[in-house]
Amino acid sequence: MAKIKVAVIGAGGIGGTHLTAYKFWQEQCEIVGISDINLAPAESRVREFGGKAFQSAEEMLDTVKPDAISICTPPNAHLASVQAAAARGIAVLCEKPPARTLAETEKIVETAAQSKSAFQFAFCHRFHEPVMQAREMIANGKLGKPVQIYNRFGFRFDRAGNSWFTDKETAGGGVLIDTLVHSIDIFRAITAQEINRVSGSISTILPNIRVEDSASILVTSTGGVAGSLNCSWVTPVSEAEIRIYGTQGEAVIDYNKPGGLLYKLAGDSDWSQLPADESLNRFTRQADHFLKCVDAGTQPIVGGADGIAVMKVIDAAYSSLKNENNVIQ
Ligand SMILES: NC(=O)c1ccc[n+]([C@@H]2O[C@H](COP(=O)([O-])OP(=O)(O)OC[C@H]3O[C@@H](n4cnc5c(N)ncnc54)[C@H](O)[C@@H]3O)[C@@H](O)[C@H]2O)c1
C-alpha cells in the first residue's frame, strides 16, 4: 500500500506513544506533522520522529495534508480537532475519554459521521492481547456463561492535583472519566453486551481538587453479568487486573505480568497461560488496526457507537452519586 501520511495533534505523553507506534509501522505510514498549542513540545517530538512542527492544528492539516491524524490533546479540545479533520475528510484516531460529557461525545460522533473517513476512539485495551484472548475464550464458550467481572486499575498518579487531569473544566471529571472509562469499555468488549445498570461510589483524598481521585462502580449488563470496576490515583501499589468468572472457569489478566491470558477451567488442577506475542503492545496493535482501516476505507472495530455507549455509563454513574434513595440517615 502507498504510505499513509499521519499527523498528531497534542505532543504530550500519549502523543509520544502514538508517534512511537506510527514509527513502528514506518513501512505503512509516514509522520508528516506534529502540532501542539505549545510549540516547544511539538518541536521536540519532531526532532525525534520527523515531520514538521506546528502551533496551529488547522495550519498543519492544510500544509502537510495528512490522510489520518491522532488526537492526543486533553478532552476539552477533542471536538475542535474532530471538526477540523471532518471538514477536510481526514481519518481520526481520537484519544479517550471521548469528551467531557455525553452531549459533547454525541457531537463528536455526529461530526465524524459527516465525513466518511475512518473514525476510531483510542480504547487501547481492546488491543491488549490477553483481553483479545479473553474475548475469544468467552465467545467460544470455554469459560461457560460469564457471571462476574472484577477490574482494578490502581496506582499513584503524580499528575493528579497539579495538572489538567484534576481540572473538571478540562477533563470533565476525575479518575472515573479518565481511567474507569477504560474499565467500562473492557467490560463491554469482554461480555459483548451493553451495560444497563450502574451505581457509583467515589472518594477524594488529595487536597484542593474538585474531582474524584478514586472511584468504584457496580454495573450489570443486558445479559445479567455483574461487574465491579475500580480505579484509584492515590494508592501506591500499582495494580492493573481483570478477573473474569464464568460458569465453566475463571480467567485473569494481570498487566504487570508477562505472557497471555491465565485461566483455570472446571476440573483443572492448575492454572494455564496462553502464549503472547510480546513484540507488539496494545498501542502498536491499535495503530496497526487504524492504519489498515484508513488504507481499506473501512470503519474501525471501536468507533463512535462505542464512545457513546461508554459515556452513557459514565454519565449515569455520576448521576447515581446524586441519588438520595440509598443514603442511610
Ligand atoms: N490511552 C491511554 O492509555 C491514555 C494514556 C494517557 C492519556 N490518554 C489521553 O490522551 C489525552 C492526552 O493526555 P496526555 O497524557 O498526553 O496529556 P499531556 O498533558 O501529557 O499532553 C497533552 C498535550 O496537548 C497539548 N494541548 C492542550 N490543548 C491543546 C489544543 N487545544 N491543541 C493542541 N494541543 C493541545 C498540551 O500542550 C500538551 O502538550 C487525554 O485525552 C488523555 O485522557 C490516554
Q: Whose CA is nearest to atom 31 of ligand 1?
A: 77
pTM: 0.98
Q: Give how far Cα 27 sits from Cα of 1, 5, 64, 328, Å.
A: 9, 11, 19, 61
Residues 6+ apart with CB under 8 A from 322: none
Ligand 1 atom with the shortest distance to the CA of 38 = 37
User: What would the grid cell of residue 245 be?
Assistant: 468468572
Write down the pLDDT at residue 326: 83
Residues in the chain with pLDDT values less than 70: 1
CB contact at 8 A, 32 and 64 = yes
Write down the pLDDT at residue 167: 98
Q: Which CATH architecture has domain 129-278?
A: 2-Layer Sandwich (3.30)
Residues 267 and 9: their CA atoms lie apart, in Å, by 51
Side chain identity, residue 176? L
Q: 38 in ligand 1 pocket by Cβ < 6 Å?
A: yes
Write down the pLDDT at residue 1: 62
- Give CATH for domain 4-125+283-302: 3.40.50.720
Question: Taking the domains of the chain in order of start, what are their residue ranges?
Answer: 4-125+283-302, 129-278
Residues 25-81 have pLDDT tens digits of 999 999 999 999 999 999 999 999 999 999 999 999 999 999 999 999 999 999 999
Write down the pLDDT at residue 206: 98
Q: Calculate how far, in angstroms, residue 218's C-alpha sits from the geometric centre of ligand 1.
A: 28
Write down the pLDDT at residue 324: 84
DSSP helix, strand, coil percent of the chain (3-state; round to 5): 40, 25, 35
* Strand blocks (E) in the chain: 4-9, 29-35, 52-54, 68-71, 91-95, 119-122, 146-156, 195-203, 214-221, 226-232, 234-246, 249-254, 262-265, 272-273
Q: Whose CA is nearest to atom 38 of ligand 1?
A: 12
Q: Calculate how far, in angstroms, residue 138's C-alpha sits from the geometric centre of ligand 1.
A: 34
